[in-house]
Amino acid sequence: MESSEQKKISDFNSHFCIKLSVHNLLREVENGSNFVFSPVSLQIFLSLISIGSTGRTLDQLLTCLGSRSIEDLNSLSSRVVDLTAGQHSDDKDLTTGPLVTMVHSVLIDQCFGLNSSYEGLLKDVYNIEVKVVDFASKASQVTEEVNIWAEDATKGLLKELLPPVSLGTDTALVFANALHFKGAWDKKLDLERSMHRDFYLLTSEIVQVPYMTTKKRERSLYREING
Closest to 179 (Cα-Cα) out of 104, 126, 101, 106? 101
pLDDT of 2:
46
Residues with pLDDT less than 70, the chain: 1-35, 86-97, 218, 221-227
Angle between helices 55-65 and 4-31 (to 10 degrees): 90
Express each pLDDT in 140-193 by its tens digit: 999 999 999 988 888 888 888 898 889 999 999 999 888 888 777 777 788 888
Closest to 101 (Cα-Cα) out of 111, 114, 89? 89
Task: Tell whether 69 is covered by a domain.
Answer: no
Domain span at residue 156?
A: 97-184
Distance separating alpha carbons of residues 163 and 167, to the nearest angstrom: 9
Domains in the chain, number: 1
Angle between helices 39-50 and 4-31 (to 10 degrees): 110
Task: Tell whether 163 is covered by a domain.
Answer: yes
Task: Tell whether 112 is covered by a domain.
Answer: yes
Q: Compute the C-alpha angle 21/149/44, nearest 5°.
A: 35
* CATH code for the domain in which residue 140 is found: 3.30.497.10
Which residues have CB under 8 Å from 74's CB, separation 6+? 47, 51, 121, 125
Task: Tell whether 201 is covered by a domain.
Answer: no
pLDDT of 29:
64
